[in-house]
Amino acid sequence: MNVFIVRPFGTKNNINFDRVETELIRPAMRAVGLTGGTTGEFVQQGNIRTDMFELLLIADLVIADVSIHNANVFYELGLRHALRDKRTFLLKSAGDDVPFDLKTDRYLPYDANDPAASVGALARALEATLDSQQQDSPVYQLLPDLEPADPDKFLIVPLDFREEVEQAEARKSPADLALLTCELEGFAWRAAGLRLIGMAQFRLKDWHGAKTTWKAVREYDDMDLEANTQLATVYQKLGDMVSSDQAVERALQSRAITNEARAEILALKARNAKTLWTRDWEHLQDLEARQASALMSPHLERSYHLYCQGFSEDRNHFYSGLNALAMLTILTELAQVQPTVWEDNFDAPEDAPLTLQKLKRLAADLAAGVKLAIASKRAILARTQQTDTWAEISAADLSFLASTRTSRIGQAYKSALAGADAQARESARNQLVLYQQLGILTDNTQAALQHVAPSGIEKVPEQAAPRVILFTGHRIDAEGREKPRFPRSKETQARALIHEAVEAERKTATGPLLGIAGGASGGDILFHEVCQELGIPTLLYLALPQDAYRAASVADSGAQWVERFQRLCEVNTPIILADADELPRWLRAKNEYTIWQRSNLWMLQHALTKSNDNLTLIALWNGDVEDGPGGTEDMVNRAKERGSAFIHLDTRTLLTDA
């Protein structure tokens, strides 16, 4: 996340504020993983006021030093309090008295003579501020109905970043989208970029990736409407109904939610209840047992009521109304075929038939409302010369629920599904099969299924993801390298280390193995050769096209390595990251980040995706810390965060071998 620092400059009132930033604020920010700066960094650009206003608005966190009475600090602090309702943090040394308007605000005290002593306290306080959803702006505390500015509306996501997201989606590559997610760290427009990626992952049905991305968006605001709406569906697809319902409740608390959106998300919650209801009975083999279990399940009525709530929010939302009618019809039909089970719901047996008749009247009223909603939708479609298969299927579903004319029902489905895609046919059929499994509405079901043939969608059994061995390691040292890492004379020993590590993985593997590595002279090529000897297939990932990569990462090691690289490319068609070594324009501002760091992260994300997180990272590495994203240390840390195994082949042992 990004920070904007509001403070005096230079030494004032015997406080060196530049030192305070260097020794206190910056170290605390680094400890929490924050980036950012002050207006002083924009002076030479000639538009300090514009930048200052923008940063006060879009910064995820503002740190303001109110140690002395400084007009600029108080002006900027006032602007922040007016623009954003939360995440403004105050700190103060022993200087001037705090102004009256800020006396009730909390702040972190520090010693101006030893600012570094408070780094730990400030880091903990910043973490707590980021985690808190409480308002700290006195403006919004006193005016609770005031809506804070939405920073995303003022942030421009670079065009070439948008294009990269579109290209990754077109390639249907969740791994490339995950790479972009990692690379957004440190950019002021990160949240807006995450939204683009999250929507692409959603469309690709990359539910695990979408969950990670939308949770990252929600870190900015627990009650983010879009994030919670997306997470509600994502969790549903992953089978986590509790988390889905929790996301729904958060979305419903948003002030920005429309009636149409409320109807949609209530219908999603109703769908969760319906899923839990089917789990209660679908495993039973005996028909009467299925019927009894389905009728007794509390999720049946809960689903019905939630669909009704959705339809009440928006009478044009025929989907929720139609499904409310379906659940109510199932309830009344089951009550008739299982009268004893139905009566057990009432203290007085005579109440059972009375309630059933009341529910049937409700169903008739509901059917009339749904009929009007569908008719309205079809009229709009006709007027605008558009078609909607789902509206036509809904009309057929309504006929199924409200009519006893089996020939009319069959014709309705035949017309609705003419030209429908496989997904639409499968959805319509699944609902009809549900009635069939419960043994209700049998005549209508038989008539409909005659015209709703199986979609032809074959459920291909999911193959177990391979265990992936991802390799990263040093190149062979250039002649005369000042600080040796991998001397040419130690190739045999390095090969033995790699062979031992890969062989150990092969012996413990319970399924298929796959190796992934680059093609640089040294560790990369040795890894591919070892895997080939052990019968393990590998994928060759190159940061640049083959000729450019050879020139950059192989040629200076000599003809022998070039020949081995060429042989490797002949048996493993290279997978290429980029056409040139220049980063995309949107990435060039990222400190200490090159195409080579990007290549490391790219391979890591592909390995994690292909292995479904069943990954071992082998690093032929001297253990030196490499700053910036994409370095070996960063790769190791990211892999460990995902639960990956890590094998460190320390090249320092090569230097100590006799």
User: Any idea what the CATH number is for the domain that residue 567 is in?
Assistant: 3.40.50.450
Query: Given this model, what pLDDT does residue 632 score?
Result: 79
What pLDDT digit, counting tens, does each position of 6-16 carry? Answer: 999 999 989 99
Residues 244 and 162 in one domain: yes
Determine which of 300-309, 434-443, 454-463 has the lowest per-residue pLDDT on average: 454-463
d(CA 562, CA 520): 10
Return the pLDDT at 465: 84
CB 151 within 8 Å of CB 55 = no
225 pLDDT more than 80: yes
pLDDT single digits (tens) 117-138? 999 999 999 999 988 888 889 9
pLDDT at residue 627 greater than cutoff 60? no
The pLDDT of residue 62: 94
Residue 461, pLDDT above cutoff 60: no
pLDDT band at residue 658, thresholds of 50, 70 and 90?
very low
pLDDT for res 482: 81
User: What is residue 522's DSSP assignment?
Assistant: B
**505-521 pLDDT per residue, tens:** 999 988 899 999 999 99
- The whole-number average pLDDT for the span 283-287 is 96
Question: Torsion angle, CA of 551/554/555/558, rounded to 10 degrees?
Answer: 180
What are the residues whose beta carbons fall under 8 Å from the beta carbon of 9, sequence distance 6 or more? 17, 18, 38, 40
294 and 244, same domain (yes or no): no
How far apart are the C-alpha atoms of 209 and 213, rounded to whole Å?
A: 6
Q: What is the mean pLDDT of residues 374-382?
A: 95
Residue 211: band (very low, low, confident or very high) from pLDDT cuts 50, 70, 90: very high
pLDDT surpasses 70 at 617: yes
Dist. CA 125–CA 31, nearest whole Å: 12
Tell me, yes or no, whether 454 lies in a domain: no
Share the mean pLDDT of the chain.
90
Amino acid identity of residue 488, one-letter, is: R
Residue 635: predicted pLDDT: 82
Strand runs (DSSP E) across 518-625, as ranges?
538-542, 575-576, 615-621
pLDDT digits (tens, 9 = 90+) for 465-511: 899 999 998 999 888 788 888 899 999 999 999 999 999 999 998 88
Mean pLDDT, residues 261-272: 96
Q: Which residue type does 469 have?
A: I
> pTM of the prediction?
0.84
pLDDT the model gives residue 369:
96
Residue 246 pLDDT > 50: yes
Q: Does residue 460 form part of some domain?
A: no
Domain shared by 496 and 443, yes or no: no
State the average pLDDT over residues 182-211. Answer: 94
pLDDT for the residue numbered 255: 85
Asked whether residue 172 falls in the same domain as residue 76, the answer is: no
Residue 456: pLDDT band (50, 70, 90) is low
Domain carrying residue 500: 467-656
Q: What is the CATH number of the domain that holds 174?
A: 1.25.40.10
Q: Identify whether residues 479 and 620 lie together within a single domain.
A: yes
Please state the rounded mean pLDDT for residues 41-67: 73
- Determine contact, residues 514/469, Cβ cutoff 8 Å: yes
| Residue 462 lies inside a defined structural domain of this protein | no
- Would you say residue 461 lies in a domain? no
How many Å is the Cα radius of gyration of the chain? 31
pLDDT in tens, 147-164: 888 887 777 899 999 999
Answer yes or no: is 129 within a domain.
yes
pLDDT of residue 153: 79
pLDDT at 459: 54
Place of tokens 């339809």: 311
How many angstroms separate the CA atoms of 478 and 419, rounded?
65
Amino acid at 181: T
Confidence of residue 44 (pLDDT cuts 50, 70, 90): very low
Quick check: 136 and 88 in contact, CB under 8 A? yes
Query: How many distinct structural domains can be found in the chain?
Result: 4
Residue 492 and residue 409 share a domain: no
| Of residues 104 and 341, more confidently modeled | 341
The share of the chain scoring above pLDDT 70, in percent, equals 94
Specify which residues 516 forms β-bridges with: 470, 539
My answer on whether 624 and 647 are in the same domain is: yes
pLDDT, tens digit, 9 for 90 and up, residues 555-614:
999 999 999 999 999 999 999 999 999 999 999 988 888 999 899 999 999 999 999 878
